[in-house]
Chains A and B, each alone.
Chain A
Amino acid sequence: MNGTQAAGALLQVEDLRVAFAADGREIRAVDGLSYQVDAGRTLAIIGESGSGKTVGCRALMGLLPASAEVSGSARLRGTEMIGLSDSELRRHRGQDMAMIFQDPARSLNPTMRVGVQITEAIRAHRKVARSEAHVQAVELLRLVRIPAPERRFHEYPHQLSGGMRQRIMIAMALACRPKLLIADEATTALDVTTQAQIMELLLDLQAELGMALILISHDLGLAASYADEVIVMYAGKIVEQAPATRLFGAGGTVKMRYTRALLDAIPHLERTAHTELPVVSGRPPDPTALPAGCSFAPRCPAAADDCAAKTPPLTEHAPGHRWACWHPCENGVPA
């Protein structure tokens, strides 16, 4: 799957690269990202902190600072998004694609009533009367399961709990019924019960609107339970990509050693207390000086000489399953 076929894909990303110029050095945040998402499907992007998940998605939205250089292609329903001017992008944002940001506290304006913020989001993209936008905003609040939406409409962000603020962010992202919704760690800050409520809500809406969903997370449990397709990123690159059913669960066949390490490191409810967790030492490479060869090689238990010498390509080894590793795990178990 090199991404050249599949004309039906809603979002088609090819060889996306992002680098920042910071303090006179180049930070390579995203390095050759290719994937596609179909309408009504969920893609999870997982990886350690700093692996480029957020930057890769912000590049699609045209929301990177001026210090970023972006190259490659990202077509949303056939329209190229990379290189569009700000005003062109603004037409697509909201209507065609929307993003829920990592930090709800900082994304809402503390001095404006939440209802007004949603109304403005609606009116920014569609010519509707204020009163009509008000009705729609209350409807959205109801949609994201906010109790007493008429009352909450008039409240300020600080009067709402963290879970409610996150739902306001979702309501704003949904204001124009986007075709693609990117949820960047949208539930990480929440506790399990609220997280479950919000994920249910997103799935319902997805079914209702035929929306494509990109879930950014470092929670593999979340990815396993809710995604159709999973991308694992390390140091700006995709290192493994497969349908969720292929990677997770009893019959899972994880190939890339980094994915394996991520999976093994999570404490499971099934584990007996006080048992040792399998660990990987070291830390991700410095993004200003990525190593030659496989970037995971310095931490990989199976690394050999070829790993440090040549970069393993991301190739489709089994139907729908791509991985980039010279010495993959056998049958998903560490060798």
Chain B
Amino acid sequence: MAVPTPDALLATAAAPPLPSLVSTRRLRSQRIGRALRLWVPAGILLLLLAICFVLPLAVTMPSSTSGDIIYNNEAPFSPGHLLGTNVQGVDIFSQLVYGGQVAFEVAFSVTAIGMVIGVTLGVAAGYFGGWVDGVLSRLLDILIAFPALVLALVIAEGLGPSEVHVIWALSVFAVPAFGRISRGATTTVRGLPYVTAARLSGTRSWRIIGRHILPNIMPGIVTFSLLGVGVVIILEGALDFLGYGIPLPEASWGSMIAQGQQILTAQPEYVLIPSIVLLITVVALNTLGDALRERWGVQ
């Protein structure tokens, strides 16, 4: 008789005849839970990005930098001001939107810079080992030794606050973070038999890095970078809060909180609104990272 192949076997396995031990409700809720864990945070982030970057192109928004003092302290949902206005009469929703643009721009730039430079250094250190690793690891250690905030303050003091300076300052903190994590992942993958196999089959180093190491460490790096974006948003907020970030009157989430904080007891919503938006963004980034980690089986 013909030898059945595994595929024939899988074909016959199509009709499960047995009554289920696990309730269908439990199975369904597991499936739904898995989908929700990914799509809810992803949806929230897409929505936030759309509001920050697409909405201003579609509709004309009130200015986020100046307002009419006559219309100050408007309550939320007042005409023309979705979330009301602040003490100076600036539209809070506009501030949130333009502050969000800044937050995401800074966060994505910092993460991209950190990823490109950090992963390059980390992979080189992890793959080549020896003195290369020695030199690069020391370099990363030195960068890590700089407290990010203090450095940012120094840069702001020296060069004056600006978005670009914030990006450079926070990159100093992102590069070694990505460097460390990719160095660790590289050393792990480098020791796996398929890399040894590639080396012994005569594959050159750059090709091993490009085709074996990078594809296999990328899922871990990407989930890490989502957490990184969240951290950078918080740090950027902290710089703004301290007045060393995005220069006023340009809107930013951190400076909104800082201004609101002066009248915290009287009108807590000026602090609450930007804080909640910040919180939602960071939590969404983290849960999305966790969901991807679960899907991709990253440790």
Q: Which residues of A contact B (CB under 8 A)?
A: 17-26, 28, 31, 69, 71, 281-283, 285-286, 289-292, 297-299, 301, 303, 308
CB contact under 8 A between A292 and B17, given known A23-B30, A23-B34: yes
* Inter-subunit contact B4/A290 (CB<8 Å): no
The majority secondary structure among interface residues of chain A is: mixed
Chain B residues, CB < 8 A from A285: 9, 13
The residue in B1, B4, B28 that gathers the most chain A C-beta atoms within 10 A of its C-beta is B4
The residue that B21 contacts in the complex, of A26, A282, A291, with Cβ under 8 A, is A26
Residues of A within 8 A of B57 (CB): none
Contact of B21 with A283 in the complex, beta carbons under 8 Å? no
B12 to A26, Cβ gap below 8 A? no
21 A–B contact pairs at CB < 8 A? A18-B21, A19-B22, A20-B22, A21-B27, A23-B31, A23-B34, A24-B27, A24-B28, A24-B31, A26-B21, A281-B3, A282-B3, A285-B13, A286-B13, A289-B16, A290-B13, A290-B16, A291-B9, A298-B12, A299-B9, A303-B1
Encoded as 1 (CB less than 8 Å from any A CB) or 0, chain B from 16 to 48 comes to 111011100011101100100000000000000
Which residues of B have CB within 8 Å of A282?
3-6, 9
Task: Judge whether B31 and A71 touch: CB under 8 Å.
Answer: no
Closest 9 CB pairs of A and B: A24-B31, A19-B21, A298-B9, A292-B17, A289-B13, A21-B22, A24-B30, A26-B22, A298-B4
In the bound complex, CA of A112 to CA of B220 (Å):
32
Chain B residue at minimum C-beta to C-beta distance from A292: B17
Chain A residue with minimal CB distance to B15? Answer: A292
Q: A24-B30, A26-B21, A281-B4 are in contact. Are A308 and B12 (CB under 8 A)?
A: yes
* Cβ-defined contact, A281 with B5, below 8 A: yes
Contact at A286–B17, with CB atoms within 8 Å? no
Supposing A21-B27, A23-B31, A24-B31 touch, asked if A69 and B5 sit within 8 A by C-beta, the answer is no
In angstroms, Cα B13 to Cα A99, docked, is: 34
Question: Which one of A17, A25, A299 contacts B4 once the chains associate, using CB atoms below 8 Å?
Answer: A299
Contacts of A286 in B (CB 8 A): 10, 13
For the complex, give the distance between the alpha carbons of A285 and B28 in Å: 23
With both beta carbons as reference points, the residue of chain A lying nearest to B29 in the complex is identified as A24
- Per the CB 8 Å criterion, the residue count for chain B at the interface is 24
| B residues in contact with A69, CB < 8 Å | 21-22
Q: How far is the CB of A18 from chain B (nearest CB, A)?
A: 8
Known: A28-B21, A282-B6. A289 touches B14 (CB 8 A): yes
Contacts of B12 in A (CB 8 A): 291-292, 297-298, 308
Report if B8 contacts A (CB, 8 A): yes
- Tell me the complex Cα distance, A94–B26, Å: 33
Which residues of the other chain, A, contact B17 by a CB distance below 8 angstroms? 290, 292
User: Which residues on B sit within 8 Å (CB–CB) of A292?
Assistant: 12, 15, 17
User: Does A290 lie within 8 Å of B18, measured CB to CB?
Assistant: yes
Which of chain B's residues have a CB closer than 8 A to the CB of A290? 13, 16-18
Q: Which chain A residues border B18 with CB–CB below 8 Å?
A: 28, 31, 290
Would you call A283 and B9 a contact (CB within 8 A)? Answer: yes
Residues of B within 8 A of A28 (CB): 18, 21
The docked-state distance in angstroms from the alpha carbon of A209 to that of B18 is 42
A189 to chain B minimum Cβ distance, whole angstroms, is: 19
A69 CA to B30 CA, complexed, in Å: 14
A18 to B10, CA, bound (A): 22
Chain A residues whose C-beta falls within 8 Å of the C-beta of B13 in the assembled complex: 285-286, 289-291, 298
Q: Report A-chain residues with C-beta under 8 Å of the C-beta of B6.
A: 281-283
Q: Which residue on A lies nearest to B4, using beta carbons?
A: A298
Chain A contacts for B31, CB-based, 8 A: 23-24
Closest-by-CB residue of A relative to B12 is A291
Name the distance in Å between A106's Cβ and chain B's nearest Cβ: 15
Closest residue of chain A to B7, judged by CB? A282
Bound Cα distance from A17 to B20, whole angstroms? 11
Distance between B74 CB and nearest chain A CB, rounded to angstroms: 49
B-chain residues with CB within 8 Å of residue A291 when the two chains form the complex: 9, 12-13, 15
